[in-house]
Amino acid sequence: MIARASFLERYYLSRTGVVGLIILMLVIVMAVFGPILYPVDPWEMVARPLQWPSLGSENPLGSDVLGRDVLSGLVNGARVSLIIGISATAAAVTIGVTIGALAGYFRGFIDDVLMRITEVFQTIPNFLFVIVLVAVFRPSVFTISTAIAVVSWPAVARLVRGQFLTLRQRAFVESCVVIGMSTPRIIFTQILPNCMAPVIVTSSIMIATAILIEAGLSFLGLGDPNVMSWGAMIGFGRQSLRTAWYLTLIPGVAIQLTVLSISFVGEALNDALNPRL
Amino acid sequence: MTKRYLVRRAGQAIVVLVLIACINFLVLNLAPGDLVDVLAGESGVGDLAYLQALREQYGLDQPLYVQLVKYLLNLVQLNLGYSFRFNLPVRDLILMRLPATLLLMFTSLGIAFLGGVAFGVAAARAPRSIRDSVISTLAMLAYSTPLFWAGLMLIILFSVKIELLPSGGMQTINGPNDPYSVVVDIARHLVLPSLTLALFYMATYTRLMRASMLDTYSMDFVRTAKAKGLTPLGIAYRHVVPNSILPLISLFGVQLGSVLGGAVVVEVVFGWPGLGTLAFDALFQRDINLLMGILFLSSVLVIVVNFAIDLLYGWLDPRIEVEA
């Protein structure tokens, strides 16, 4: 209980962390309840094309070239961004923790092989690799999340391996070995919980990066064709950039605010979880 | 820096390259449908015997490991296959587009490096001041901005609103063609794309430079410099900056792959005729061979540059014992 209270206290020391958390909560609420509270189909033509945003009108954020509602696109896009950001990160963390833990615990030959593989995935230019994977396996929320996970796990693997290498030498782990605790139990109940703090911080940054990658993909026309996403909205809006730049501005600000808030939360978590800094 | 270390590093680099080639091959083979299916679909040929003959001609009827060995042998000779869309060998296409991308990338990285050092120094010289928090917040903002969107916003501002700079392409069509005006013309076209690409990396360099300088400030030799009465400015530029810059150079190598990826979207936004737009075209014409070629050569570029940076590192800071 004491540890928990001091963690929250340390978190609230960061002003940007609190601001980030508030914005992030708003985005999450928008993603979860938005499509229910504002049930306009983002693909349907509901207004005259290219209406500028005006409060109080039927389409508060205006309409695009095809008369589709911008606010509806924004609300539905929040869902897609968060789903892809979270699922890609969850998958990447699972792969990364597994490989990092195996390499760091067993060392030697296993470590060499796993680290060589990690190096390979770190060398291939990330975004290009994602483009190739999504293009080859056809874009969908699943393939996009998987492709992002495939390129993002090495950072976690290296981090976890480093933690395991040092923690394995510590007395509390050696005493577990001495009392005959099984290897999986040592890994899962002793070492892993002790290296979760940096993993949590890294994952928050990975969610932000995943959202940026997804935006880039759907901007290039490689998004899931069945869902409206922020990047795709910018891609559509780009054609009327000179006359109707609000179509590009609005979803871009949404991406920026979301990513910024996640980064702020990540930074505050880092300060709160590593009090020595 | 021993010869043995060099050989060892080169060996590791080659292993990584071969593994990347294998991953490429795997992805190509996991793709639904083979080359012949694509060709048949396009030309509308349905004759199974003819398709079988084609498969034999391209060696697609052979066991996978034979195909893999052939693929690797081709790569060793830098034979990346043939692009049926552009009617040119993939290698020639890539080499044609590479200079434009390299120009864009290195201009951006140059801007990012200089800007990052300048902002990092400004922030670190007065930690926790207003200047520091403004710089840190701006860096965070740049860090969170999608590159392609930043580019579009710069176009609205500088080419639509105040009509100062061209919004796309690399050269004015039918512009003057004496060498001087060509250089000026390309430079004008380069400003917006390179600034766009630089923005994100400038933010990372700023953060790293700030952190690295704060580290250096706490060292004994800085205290000595203070004790002997050097001015704060002298300490910062003579002692702290030179000793803080090294981590930025290794970040350069780490980021190269990510810069290549960033160049793709930036090139598409600005119609810059480099590898990125080539990849984009390949994507939409489903020219997977070309796409794979670009991916492979980009990986080679990353490996070569990182190798060079390793060597540079040992030369810049002889204290670093390169462990073999």
Average pLDDT (B115-120) is: 92
Closest to A218 in 3D by CA, of A92, A134, A133, A129: A134
For residue A261, the chain B residue with the least C-alpha distance is B144
Query: Worst-scoring range by mean pLDDT, B7-21, B79-93, B264-278, B288-302?
Result: B79-93
Residue of B144, B145, B256, B309 for testing the chain A interface, max A β-carbons within 10 Å: B144
pLDDT at B320: 63
φ, ψ dihedrals at B251, nearest 5°: -60, -35
pLDDT at B206 over 60: yes
pLDDT tens digits, B261-274: 889 899 998 988 98
Average pLDDT (B200-205) is: 91
Tokens describing residue A164:
């395991």
pLDDT at B172: 76
pLDDT at A173 over 50: yes
Average pLDDT (A248-258) is: 92
Average pLDDT (B172-196) is: 82
Reported pTM = 0.89
pLDDT at A277 over 50: no
Interacting residues of A17 by C-beta distance below 8 A, sequence separation 6+: A11, A264, A265, A267, A268, A269, A271, A272
pLDDT at B33: 65
pLDDT band, very low/low/confident/very high, at A3 (cuts 50, 70, 90): low
Chain B contact set for A135 (CB, 8 A): 283, 286, 288, 291
The torsion defined by the Cα of B257, B260, B262 and B264, in degrees rounded to 10, comes to -140
Question: Min CA distance, A256 vs chain B (Å)?
Answer: 5
pLDDT at B42: 66
φ, ψ dihedrals at B41, nearest 5°: -60, -35
- Angle at the Cα of B278 from the Cα atoms of B276 and B280, rounded to 5 degrees: 70
Q: Which residue has the higher pLDDT, B287 or B266?
A: B266
pLDDT at A102 over 60: yes
Question: Min CA distance, A166 vs chain B (Å)?
Answer: 19
* Strand residue runs (E) in chain B: 82-83, 88-89
The per-residue pLDDT of chain B, averaged, comes to 83
Question: How many residues in chain A?
Answer: 277
Cross-strand bridge partners of residue A69: A63
Average pLDDT (B153-161) is: 85
Interacting residues of B204 by C-beta distance below 8 A, sequence separation 6+: B112, B116, B143, B251, B255
Strand B88-89 relative to strand B82-83: parallel, antiparallel, unpaired?
Answer: antiparallel
pLDDT at A275: 60
Dist. CA B106–CA B142, nearest whole Å:
19
Report yes or no: B80 and B297 within 8 Å, Cβ to Cβ. yes
Tokens describing residue A268:
């505050």
Dist. CA A218–CA A228, nearest whole Å:
9
Average pLDDT (A194-223) is: 90
pLDDT at A156: 92
| Positive or negative: CA dihedral B261, B93, B267, B209 | positive
Q: Which residue has the higher pLDDT, A53 or B302?
A: B302
Among the partner residues B144, B155, B261, nearest to A256 by beta-carbon distance: B144
pLDDT at A4: 54
Report yes or no: A253 and A239 within 8 Å, Cβ to Cβ. no
Dist. CA B179–CA A211, nearest whole Å:
44
pLDDT tens digits, B222-239: 888 888 888 888 888 888
Chain B contact set for A122 (CB, 8 A): 257
Chain A contact set for B280 (CB, 8 A): 220
pLDDT at A46 over 90: no
| Positive or negative: CA dihedral B224, B226, B232, B233 | negative
Q: Which residue has the higher pLDDT, A119 or B285?
A: A119
pLDDT band, very low/low/confident/very high, at B101 (cuts 50, 70, 90): very high
Give yes or no for B168 touching A (CB within 8 A): no
Average pLDDT (A113-135) is: 90
Question: Min CA distance, A16 vs chain B (Å)?
Answer: 9
Among the partner residues A133, A222, A252, nearest to B149 by beta-carbon distance: A252
| Burial (Cβ within 10 Å: 0-12, 13-18, ≥19) of residue B158 | middle
pLDDT at A47 over 90: no
pLDDT at B34 over 70: no
Report yes or no: A256 and A272 within 8 Å, Cβ to Cβ. no
Interface subset of B 251-310, CB within 8 angstroms of A: 256-258, 260-262, 264-265, 268-269, 279-280, 283-284, 286, 288, 291-292, 294-295, 298-299, 302-303, 306
pLDDT at A214 over 90: yes
Residue of B135, B145, B149, B207 for testing the chain A interface, max A β-carbons within 10 Å: B149
pLDDT at A197: 84
The per-residue pLDDT of chain A, averaged, comes to 86
Average pLDDT (A71-81) is: 87
Q: For chain A, which residues lie within 8 Å of any Cβ of chain B, measuring from their own Cβ?
A: 16, 116-117, 119-120, 122-133, 135-138, 208, 212, 215-216, 219-222, 231, 234, 238, 241-242, 245, 248-249, 252, 255-256, 259-260, 263-264, 267
Stated as kind and residue range, the H or E segment containing B90 is helix B90-125
In the block, tokens 């050696």 appear at A174
Interacting residues of A148 by C-beta distance below 8 A, sequence separation 6+: A84, A88, A92, A130, A210, A213, A214
Would you call B258 and A128 a contact, using CB atoms and an 8 Å cutoff? no
In chain A, % of residues over pLDDT 70: 96
In the block, tokens 């820096």 appear at B1
Q: Which residue has the higher pLDDT, A7 or B131?
A: B131
